[in-house]
Amino acid sequence: MPPPADIVKVAIEWPGANAQLIEMDQKRPLSSIIREVCDGWSLSGSEQFALRYADGPQLYITEQSRGDIKNGTILRLAISPARAARQLLERIQSHGIDARLEALKELAKLSADPTFAAEFINMEGIATLARLVESGTHFGEMLAFTLTAFLELMDHGIVSWDLISLSFIKQIAGYVNQPMVDVSILQRSLAILESMVLNSHSLYHRVAQEITVGQLIGHLSNQEIQTYAIALINALFLKAPEDRRQEEYTNPLEQHLTEMASTLAQKHLRSIILNHVIRGNRPIKAEMAHQLYVLQVLTFNLLEERMMTKMDPNDQAQRDIIFELRRIAFDGESDPTGTEKRKAMYTKDYKMLGFTNHVNPAMDFTQTPPGMLALDNMLYLARVHQDTYIRIVLENSSREDKHECPFGRCAIQLTRMLCEILQVGELPNEGCNDYHPMFFTHDRAWEEFFCVCIQLLNKTWKEMRATAEDFNKVMQVVREQITRALAMKPSSIDQLKNKLRGLSYSEILRLRQSERLSQDDFQSPPIIELRERIQPEILELIKQQRLNRLCEGSCFRKLGNRRRQEKFWFCRLSLNHKVLHYGDLDESPQGEVPFELLSDKIPVSDIKSVLTGKDCPHMKEKSALKQNKEVLELAFSVLYDPDETLNFVAPSKYEYCIWTDGLCALLGREMGSDLTRSDLDTLISMEMKLRLLDLENITIPEAPPPVPKEPSSYNFTYNYS
């Protein structure tokens, strides 16, 4: 007979004594259980003790968290959080350097525990740590442990960042600005400044006054801290007031980080990131890729103001830009005398330039998006790539009317399309690492990207022999060409051109046809019947593959306040498919993790269901902001007896599909992910082709005329010519 659900069997350790094996009744008060354990070792004052996990983060167990204790868990009797906080607070203020160092080291470890943190903060512990930092008497390891403890305590959100003093900010900024500082101190200082900026509007202004771009650029060549430096740049950029982002200053290396527009356009900063980060001698890890993606998004978001600005048809300065486009294209033609003749000539020229409104082309730029951004792109092309601009305009103006590619209309719609593809104006997604190296290779990457794409559009228009009625079809093909090329992650603008050259209109048609092959080639009734017979066998193969992957296991990231100090955990299915084993890890593993290192487990028979997306408990607590959208798409939870959950955030869409499919297969439910549908179609198509190929290779020996018999259920004929 199984034990009651409220009873868990655990081992409890105490230094110098034999472990106690007890059956913990979860209905009894925790204080009563601790008193009983203390009595077993003849320890008085049970109220001064608490239980902690012996493995992993070794968190304190409270009435709220005791439900997480599983059968077979090893616990440890320890001094209570309040007592530990009081002792450490006294020790970190002692005169003995060695004793203070050991106390700070222990404090840095314990500060991650929310129960301990609450007690330590209630005793004015954060203020004490702040005074130690402000005194400037701590160096080396002692300072590193102090900053670690401070950051861990603040990350619990118990104390507002607004309470931090200006002298503390100056001291932390001083560590960043000093030329020779220990790496561990720099990492923690940059992380503290990032948290200040992200969590307090008032502190943003103070930090921005203390830190300049030039000071952070110097840290980008150090691979140990470059992620922290870029994260701080991103945080300052993200929180900068809108009007301050667009300002330009004469000396970018001495300007403060509130003036971000000119900063991110500076060749020095971009080249440092390109040469020391993107092209560095170390592979780019997930967190660095995320920070580069955020930097890319925030840089492109500088275009949002122009993208959402309508042209004022009465603004002479704006109209002069259109006159400039006309002048560059038709430079050799002198203006006729007389207002009517000049107006007629302008109308003709604006038609040749491809504007929709030939009389007043300013009206073409009144729709947002893309607004004035489209005009900016056209002017850049006309001035910087003048030969290309003139060739495109004159080439189309000399065609037959029905095949001319309207440059103006195309440039406006292309700008809008590029804004959509690169999500200009959108906030960064929390879990996204999708940065493009080529955008860090040029000071005017956006404009150069447009220039490449407008030439592609003109080329595709000719290849399709398009007319005005085909405009939307051409734009669809161009969008596909661009998105396919970007997916290949070209490392430079020139490499993008090479990728696009290989994606001609005929190649797009070939790719489309190839991708539709499994749908188009097998639609006859006998083939459909054959497909239905094969499908259960293929589904079983997919099921076994999913279960095998679950047996290998996967590493998952724990969601926290700070991404760079990531915490991981690993989960894998037992080889007999009866138990899910999981446990915490100090770092991301290389390969499989042995079952012995995974301290927790869930019997598969206890699993009730698998939840996904917004139905997961750990997603209901998160906000609905844009940056959480991707995390939401990767979230799933295992609901098991007695109404508890094991929560996951998959590292990728592929892992999400593998795990949700595998768990559904374990529970005898339908595997319904996009990956399974794709695998099913691919494998069935391959199997059917192999079977049809076998039919083709059959040699039929000579024989007497066959005796008539019942017709086969497969009455199909193939011509293998």
All domains of the chain in start order, with CATH: 7-79 (3.10.20.90), 94-115+124-242+255-300 (1.25.10.10), 308-516 (no CATH), 535-678 (2.30.29.30)
The CA dihedral of 97, 100, 105, 107, to the nearest 10 degrees, is -170
What is the pLDDT averaged over residues 173-179? 90
pLDDT tens-digit map of 608-664: 999 998 888 888 765 444 446 778 888 999 998 777 889 999 988 889 999 999 999
Q: Which helix (H) or strand (E) holds 76?
A: strand 74-79
pLDDT tens-digit map of 529-562: 777 888 888 889 999 999 999 999 999 887 765 5
Please give the Cα distance from 477 to 508 (Å, whole number).
8
Beta bridge partners of 24: 8
Return the percentage of the chain with pLDDT > 70, whole number: 86
> Three-class SS of residue 610?
strand
pLDDT of 257 > 50? The answer is no
Between 230 and 642, residue with greater pLDDT: 230
**What is the per-residue pLDDT for 712?**
36
The alpha-carbon radius of gyration of the chain (Å, integer) is 33
pLDDT-derived band at 721, boundaries 50, 70, 90 = very low
Q: Is the dihedral of CA 496, 502, 506, 511 positive or negative?
A: negative
- At 107, list the tokens: 């404090």
pLDDT of 679 > 60? The answer is yes
Return the percentage of the chain with pLDDT > 90, whole number: 57
> Three-class SS of residue 575?
coil
Q: What is the DSSP letter of 361?
A: G
CB neighbour list of residue 661: distance below 8 Å, 6 or more residues apart? 542, 546, 671, 672, 673, 675, 676
Q: What is the DSSP letter of 357?
A: -
- Please, what is the Cα angle at 699 between 694 and 701, to 5 degrees? 150
DSSP string, 154-167: HTTTSS-GGG--HH
Please give the Cα distance from 161 to 171 (Å, whole number).
16
- Quick check: 387 and 258 in contact, CB under 8 A? no
Q: Which residues of 221-248 are buried (b: 16+ CB within 10 A; e: fewer)?
A: eeeebbbbbbbbbbbbbbbbeeeebeee
C-alpha distance across the termini of the chain, in Å: 70
Please give the Cα distance from 632 to 614 (Å, whole number).
6
pTM of the model: 0.73
φ, ψ (nearest 5 deg) of residue 177: -85, -15
CA atoms within 13 A on the CB side of 571: 24
Residue of 622, 631, 668, 663 lying closest to 650 (CA atoms): 631
What is the pLDDT averaged over residues 77-98? 93
pLDDT of 715 > 60? The answer is no
- At 203, list the tokens: 């502190």
Query: What angle do the packed helices 445-463 and 372-384 form, to 10 degrees?
Result: 90
**What is the per-residue pLDDT for 687?**
73
**What is the per-residue pLDDT for 238?**
87
- At 216, list the tokens: 């952070």
Please give the Cα distance from 445 to 418 (Å, whole number).
13
State the chain's mean pLDDT as an integer: 85
pLDDT of 702 > 50? The answer is no
pLDDT tens-digit map of 124-145: 999 999 999 999 887 889 999 9
**What is the per-residue pLDDT for 517?**
62
- At 547, list the tokens: 């279960």
Between 95 and 15, residue with greater pLDDT: 15
Q: For residue 194, is it left (φ>0), alpha (ψ between -120 and 50) or beta?
A: alpha
- Quick check: 460 and 434 in contact, CB under 8 A? no
- At 243, list the tokens: 């009007």
**What is the per-residue pLDDT for 700?**
39
pLDDT of 596 > 90? The answer is no
Query: What angle do the packed helices 97-110 and 81-91 form, to 10 degrees?
Result: 150
- At 354, list the tokens: 């491809």
In which order are the strands placed within the sheet that holds 554-557? 554-557, 568-573, 579-585, 600-603
- At 421, list the tokens: 């593809």
Q: What is the DSSP letter of 111?
A: T
What is the pLDDT averaged over residues 148-159? 95
Please give the Cα distance from 558 to 537 (Å, whole number).
37
